[in-house]
Chains A and B, each alone.
Chain A
């Protein structure tokens, strides 16, 4: 089974206009499996949500985190139960903070890397220079409120270029909620899990092997077969998802991009067409243009 994660959410504990209680109710109403509280530079909402979930025994899991909101970019940690100081933030050595967070058991992500910063909102663009991604779990390739082409497209392209160079970093999406915005037809993060599994541990396991999906509700799965790689569609039943009349799968490697019609629900791509190149599968509802993007799947490591 697949579990849906909403990994980037704020409350009145920082600059949002929804309380912790409203955030919990909003996530429950949208049938989210696991959501994170990621207020700017504070963990004060964590015990409030923990109390709500424990006292009311609600059927939802919270990941207790924070968004490091620094002068040079935002680092979203959907899991950060032990506060790690960031006052030594160094734009040329951000790895030090990523590593300190990982050593404290955190999940680390680069948030909205191409948002507009100064002079609009200093710190919103990720201006830190990462040379070692060892302690970066993921890149938030889609930050839903941000403009598709100006901000999210370069985020997707950056992640693609990294993984096609062999960097081990996952892709995730975030609502960056500051109010009770609708989550229908917005990108969420999905990972494999089991009925009784702990979603937070399953997320960590998925990130460790770069097996996360960014999707509006339809996932594209792949598996090796005798004839080639078989791609199938999987409806994650996300509330508000509007199915398309036509689905197109693209595979993008460093050398080429190929298209396949997958409206029938599956397609098998022979190995010789892939020519042992690593490739990123993406699903579109119609022509393969960004406006029609539905899902970004984990990179296929055919080289390995």
Chain B
């Protein structure tokens, strides 16, 4: 397939929200591949990332939001086991929803043709017009989280 669009970006710790990229397809396509990936090594915390500040912040969040009084070891478990960067992708074609991949992945393809599509996506008989790809950032745990979005077509 031919690359139609490529963009790279960086999101920092704490960003919650979405970024939408609009691609005007220059000709009708039979196949479409939207590929999104971010650095898998930044998806989770490693033991060496844990600082006293991060432990305190986690304890404070648990106390404030849930009334949970946790010790340092439990905070460590939450940081290593639960906290993660979570970014999903959603696509529309001519403002009609054509799919969203909501799975814990750092690398994903949204593949379309007339009869089939990746799970989460809806097959498209006519791939033509204006494609919008939205990057949905639910959670970013590390500064400098780089991502690459490419759109390929045939």
Whether both chains belong to one complex is answered with yes
Return the chain A residue nearest B17 by Cβ.
A71
A212 within 8 A of B: no
What number of A-B contacts does a CB cutoff of 8 Å give? Answer: 67
Binds A, one of B5-13, B23-31, B36-44, B94-102: B94-102
Residues facing A in B28-57 (CB within 8 A) are none
B22 within 8 A of A: no
Chain A interface main SS type: loop
Contact indicator A120/B119 (Cβ below 8 Å):
no
Q: Mark A64-83, 1 if CB is under 8 A from B, else 0.
A: 00000101000000000001
Known: A15-B102, A116-B66. A87 touches B134 (CB 8 A): yes
Interface residue total, chain B, C-beta cutoff 8 A: 34
Contact indicator B104/A15 (Cβ below 8 Å):
yes
Q: Mark A103-121, 1 if CB is under 8 A from B, else 0.
A: 0000000000000111111
Contact indicator A71/B103 (Cβ below 8 Å):
no
**In the complex, what's the smallest C-beta–C-beta distance from A11 to chain B, in angstroms?**
8
Contact indicator B102/A39 (Cβ below 8 Å):
yes
Contact indicator B139/A118 (Cβ below 8 Å):
yes
A40 within 8 A of B: yes
- The interface residues of chain B lying within 8 Å CB-to-CB of A83 are 96-97
Contact indicator A40/B97 (Cβ below 8 Å):
no
A263 within 8 A of B: no
B-to-A contact residues, CB < 8 Å: 16-18, 20, 58, 61-62, 65-66, 78-79, 82-83, 86, 88, 90, 92, 96-97, 99-104, 117, 119-122, 134, 136, 138-139
Pull 11 A–B residue pairs with CB atoms less than 8 Å apart, ordered by A.
Answer: A39-B120, A41-B90, A42-B101, A42-B120, A42-B121, A85-B97, A117-B65, A118-B61, A119-B61, A119-B62, A122-B138
